[in-house]
Amino acid sequence: MTARTAYFVTGTDTEIGKTLTTSALLHALAQTGVRAAGMKPLAAGAELRDGVLRNEDVDAIAGAANLALPLPLTTPYLLREPAAPHIAAALEGVSFDIGHILDCYRQVAAAADAVVVEGVGGFCVPLTEEFDTADLAQKLALPVILVVGLRLGCISHALLTAEAIAARGLRLAGWVANVVDPQMRFQSENIDTLRARLPAPLLGVIPRLPAASAAAAASHLDCSGLPNWPAAGAAKPTHTFSPEAKEV
């Protein structure tokens, strides 16, 4: 069995709300009654706690999902250095194997009804000399959800990212506006401009939350129009996860 619902979450930059949006999507999916799993295939910036490497983004995504899967599947590459992935990988002697990431995704998709995959940084972050995160998104071939960090310059960043998504032959299924700069002037005008120019619906505006959480962020989103979004009360699957599952 393969996940019927799956999305790739990217953003206009780093630190603009991709993880919060990914967590919100997973929370909303879980509320419909399906088994939802999250993936962040590459994460940089981990620290050792009780003998285990931990990353805040990875932990947040795992906490929002209602289907627990092994970390080596959901985050096959977890690096210590908080830097661009290709730089962190070079420092740690790691080589990214895109085939391995895709195989991990297939196993996750075989275990879940819904999968949300979060990218790293912006849409075109280098991974190897020949491969970047846009190539990974293209290989996964999932509908893309774009997180726009609301701050000065976001219009150009969002439109350029949308062009890059289209250039890879991918569908921009929706976008989320996340308030990064609460003091941003003409916020609503910027949102209106993007609504008129981006070729996908606005799923919602996440304000600056007093306590950021998946549930709080999800309350500001309407995901019902996303492709293959499950209806409320969707039946849970009867299959169980097997680490040997390979089928797509």
115 phi/psi in degrees, rounded to 5: -130, 135
- Contacts of residue 239, defined as CB under 8 A and 6 or more positions apart, other chains included, come to 1, 111
Handedness of CA 104, 8, 208, 67 (dihedral sign): negative
What ranges in 78-127 are assigned the alpha helix state H? 85-92, 98-111
From 18, 40, 139, 246, active-site residue: 40
Asked whether the beta carbons of 222 and 203 are under 8 A apart, the reply is yes
40 labelled catalytic: yes
CA–CA distance, 217 with 186 (Å, rounded to integer): 22
* SS3 assignment, position 236: coil
Question: Cα separation of 203 and 214, whole Å?
Answer: 15
Extract the tokens encoding 96: 């990214």
Catalytic residues: 40
